[in-house]
C-alpha cells in the first residue's frame, strides 16, 4: 500500500550540489511525496525544477521550506521529527568540515535515531533507502518507550 511520506532533505554547504543532483536523479520516486527542506537546500531544489523543467510540473513537487539550518531550521526539523511529522531523513552532511552549528546537527541526528526514523547520510544510503520495498508501504517504525529511562534518571537526582 502506497503512503505519501514527508521526506526531510538537509545538506551541508559542500553537499548541497550532491543533494540537488540526487533529487534530480530520483525525481519520479520523490515527486509523490512531500519534501521538507531546510532553507537553502529547499531553495536550490525549487530553483532546479523551476529552471530546468524536468518534465515535472513544479506544482506536482511539493516542497516545504524551513529556516536555514544554522538559523533554526535543524531545530524546526527536529521538532517535526519528535512530533511524528517526518517519515524519512536524508541528510547529506559534510564529514570534512566543522560546522558552526554542530550542536544542532547532533541534536537532529539524535532525535532521528531516538524516534527510529529511516535516516540516510550520503547518496548511496539514500539510494538504498528509497529503493527498499518498505519505502512505498505504510511502514510504522517501532518507537521505544523511554519512560522507564526518564523515571530512573529522575530517581537518581
- Which residue in 18, 60, 74, 104 is the catalytic one? 74
pLDDT per residue as tens digits for the range 57-111:
455 679 999 999 889 999 999 999 999 999 999 999 988 887 777 888 899 999 9
- Establish whether 74 is a catalytic residue: yes
Task: Of 64, 66, 2, 61, give the one whose Cα is nearest residue 30.
Answer: 61
Q: How many Cα neighbours within 13 Å face the side chain of 39?
A: 10
Global pTM value = 0.87
Identify the pLDDT of residue 103: 87
Contacts of 138 (CB under 8 A, 6+ apart): 1, 3
Domains defined along the chain, listed by start = 6-156 (3.40.50.1380)
| Helices of type H across 53-89 | 73-82
Amino acid at each position: 500500500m502506497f503512503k505519501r511520506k514527508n521526506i526531510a532533505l538537509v545538506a551541508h554547504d559542500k553537499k548541497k550540489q550532491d543533494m540537488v543532483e540526487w533529487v534530480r536523479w530520483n525525481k519520479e520516486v520523490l515527486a509523490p511525496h512531500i519534501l521538507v527542506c531546510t532553507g537553502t537546500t529547499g531553495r536550490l531544489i525549487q530553483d532546479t525544477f523551476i529552471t530546468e523543467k524536468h518534465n515535472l510540473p513544479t506544482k506536482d513537487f511539493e516542497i516545504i521550506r524551513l529556516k536555514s539550518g544554522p538559523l533554526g531550521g535543524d531545530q524546526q526539523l527536529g521538532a517535526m521529527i519528535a512530533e511524528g511529522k517526518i517519515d524519512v531523513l536524508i541528510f547529506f552532511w559534510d564529514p570534512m568540515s566543522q560546522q558552526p552549528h554542530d550542536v544542532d546537527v547532533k541534536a537532529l541526528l539524535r532525535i532521528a535515531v531516538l524516534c527510529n526514523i529511516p535516516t540516510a547520510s550520503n547518496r548511496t544510503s539514500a539510494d538504498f533507502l528509497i529503493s527498499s520495498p518498505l519505502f512505498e508501504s505504510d511502514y510504522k517504525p517501532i518507537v521505544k518507550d523511554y519512560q522507564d529511562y526518564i523515571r530512573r534518571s529522575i530517581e537518581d537526582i
